[in-house]
Every structure is written in C-alpha cells, then in structure tokens.
Structure 1
C-alpha cells in the first residue's frame, strides 16, 4: 500500500518539513494554518507564500489535527503537540523545543 503524503507549502520544504527558515534535525513539524487549511513548516513560510494574514487557532479548536510530524507523517492535535514534551507520540522523533516560543503566532491563549 502506498502512503499518501500530506502536502506542505512553503519555501525550500524538504521531505521532513524542514524549510529555508528552520533546518535543524529537530525542525520536523508543519502546522496547518486555520486561515487556509494548509500546512506550512513555519510562520515565515506562510508569510512569504500565502496572500493573506494568518488566523490563530482558538483554545476551543485545540482538539483539531493541525500538526504534522515530518518524520512519520502522522497528524497530531494541537493539544497532543503542546503536551508531547517535544517528542512525537507516534515515532518518538525529537521536535525543536524552541518552537514553543512561537505558539503565539499560531494559537490563541
């Protein structure tokens, strides 16, 4: 059976969702932007590629699958991502813990 990969938009995006702006071995998540229902590796990619301003996910929507692990390609809910301690609950790959400093760019609260 062939695995169907979820498309990720952005600038210089590789197969693990790393982009021009964030390329470390732990920069392997993409975030679905509520405004366009499209995955991007980061806020800078959305800013460069999308033709609109972002809309933040409200706390009432944090059970929505909106985080993509670039290693195993499983989707996580926003809450799963926020509570995973920077480790994918599906494949145990490490995520960049510094991404937490950008939550205000994606999530209300």
Structure 2
C-alpha cells in the first residue's frame, strides 16, 4: 500500500499504517527494516511478508530515517523516534508507547 508516498508492505488496513496485528488509534507508525530497506507496520507483518532474513538496525546507524508517521508522513531518524515522547514532532499525532516492548525486533540494544 502506498501511504504518504512510501510503499508499506504487510497486512496494512488503513492510510495511517495500522495493520491487522496492531490497529488501535495510536498504532500509526511504520518501521523501515534494516535487512530489506522496506517499511512494515510491525515485526509480525515483516515475518509474514518480509525478506525472510530479519536484521536489526545497528546503533551506529540510529541517525538514519527509519520511522514513518502514519499521521503526516514525516520520516524520523531512530534517535528522533526514541526522543519524541510517543508523538510525532511535526503533526503531534500520538504513537503507541507500547512499541518499546518490541524494540529488540527492530533496533540493536
């Protein structure tokens, strides 16, 4: 699905990047996976539709844009995402703070 000019792969169900796995109001980010350089709403979508070789973002690349706000299309670096206090710094749309519970699927610890 094309959202804000970016192709989002997986079980996407709406224009704010929600998917069949995570679809609450605040589930509105997509994460670019390091291994395949493609955006997915969640790690489960990547497991089902991804490259088959998951790799996490290394710390030295946390300055790369890898988070897409489903509200406005703003791309955040990983460091900006960690610092954003669970909302987009551009449109102020709330992000799910629970995403941090799955951090190890996306980012080096």
* TM-score of the pair, normalised by structure 2: 0.93
Question: Where does structure 1 differ by over 6 angstroms across 4 or more consecutive aligned residues?
Answer: none
Q: Which runs of 5+ in 1 are unaligned?
A: none
* Aligned positions of 1:43-82 closer than 5 A: 43-82=43-82
**RMSD (Å) for aligned C-alpha atoms:** 1.3
Partner of 1:14: 14
Range with greater deviation from structure 2 (61-70 or 47-56)? 47-56
Question: How many positions carry a matched residue from both structures?
Answer: 107
Shift of 1:5: 1.3
* Aligned positions of 1:18-57 closer than 5 A: 18-57=18-57
* TM-score of the pair, normalised by structure 1: 0.93
